[in-house]
Amino acid sequence: MQETGYVVGVDIGGSNLRLALAGMDGKVLAKWAVSTEGIRDPQVVVRLIEEGVDDLLQQNHLSRSLLLAIAAGAPGVTNVDEGIVIATSYLMGWRDVPLRALLEARLGVPAAVENDVNTAAIAESRIGAGQGIRDFIFIAVGTGIGAGIVLNGRLFHGMGWSAGEIGYMLVPGTSVSPVEKGEPGALESVIGGEGIKAQWQSLWSQERTPLRRDLVATQIFDHALQGDPLAQAVLHKSAQTLAYAIYNLAVVLNCSLVVLGGSVGMHPAFCDATREILIQRDKRVQPKLVRSTLGPDAQVNGAIQLALDAAASRVLST
């Protein structure tokens, strides 16, 4: 491995594109972000990534030749071996985008791609709450909900690259209606960010709470902490539902650690209430539940880790 060199980690989100430049020790030196609102064309995204890379290098007075690799987390099902983003619901629906080849062609360095929740799980595994843990599950609760499953120290991807789609899990209290294409899954409908908002709105009336009807999940949880009974009911139902899902994962995979991340999952009240319910449920099955130590930086840090791996192999795959 070259002694001097740099890598870039990319988090391609539904609303933002975030980049971070790091040295070969994985430490973030600088960050860059731009909106992806209204963008669909992968070529445009790759051009924006190049802009960001150049900007990050220039800010740090580094020449392009010092960039050794890049990796990107994408918000959808991703074939890591082929470097293809198979499908996303964000970015207006990518289908079979050869993102690794596009990045390598534009930047001239080895690239890697991965699903964004998996990218976050890698970061938690290597530098976050999952360090040294052989088997653990990272759960991201944001607008949607998904899991990155680390087994025997490696990401488990499944036959069709979509292991960990726990947003579709059925637990007591979720709908059992058949799922139509493009619809959110049963679990996500209750405890994804939108699901929690919907719970609030279905319970809300002016007589029952002085709070506004248009609160988002984290605001509802804030108000639950401050004592609003209706917000507490939503928090309790959400925590109960999440606890059932985590319990199911723990009995199936017998893993001892679950790391909770994502903008909604990071809320301390959500994690604490879920943990309480898990403790009461089954003395034999007690997965440790902790919040992500990397928070919103998990994805981009995981991408940096993958870029370091790609730099170590240093072979263009195209």
Sheet holding 154-155, edge to edge: 154-155, 145-151, 136-141, 257-261, 288-291
> Which residue's CB is nearer to a second copy, number 61 or number 284?
284
Q: How far is CA 182 from CA 87, 89, 104, in A?
A: 11, 8, 31
Residues that bind a second copy (CB under 8 A): 134-135, 147, 149, 151, 156-166, 168-174, 176, 178-179, 181, 185, 244, 247-249, 251-256, 280-285
Kindly tell me which of 9 and 76 has the beta carbon lying closer to a second copy. Answer: 76
Cβ 240 to a second copy shortest distance, Å: 8
Nearer to a second copy, 8 or 186 (CB): 186
CB of 59 to a second copy, least distance (A): 40
Q: How far apart are CB 200 and a second copy at their closest, in Å?
A: 22
- For a second copy, the closer of residues 219 and 286 by Cβ is 286
Output 128 or 148, the one with its CB closest to a second copy. Answer: 148
Length of the chain, please? 318
Query: Could you give the CA distance from residue 217 to residue 239 in angstroms, rounded to a whole number?
Result: 12
- What is the Cα–Cα distance from 199 to 190, expressed in whole angstroms? 7
**Burial annotation 198-231 (CB, 10 A radius, 16+ → b, else e):** ebbeeebeeeebebeeebbbbbbbbbbeeebebb
For a second copy, the closer CB: 21 or 139: 139
Q: How far is the CB of 147 from a second copy (least distance, A)?
A: 8
Q: How many CB atoms lie within 10 A of CB 299?
A: 32
Other beta carbons less than 10 A from residue 31's beta carbon: 15
Report the residue number, 41 or 81, with the smaller CB distance to a second copy: 81
Helix (H) or strand (E) holding 148, with range, is strand 145-151
- State the nearest-atom distance from the C-beta of 159 to a second copy, in Å: 5
Enter the tokens of residue 68.
């050794």
Q: How many other C-beta atoms can be found within 10 angstroms of the C-beta atom of residue 181?
A: 4
Strands (E) across 5-44 are located at 6-12, 16-23, 28-35
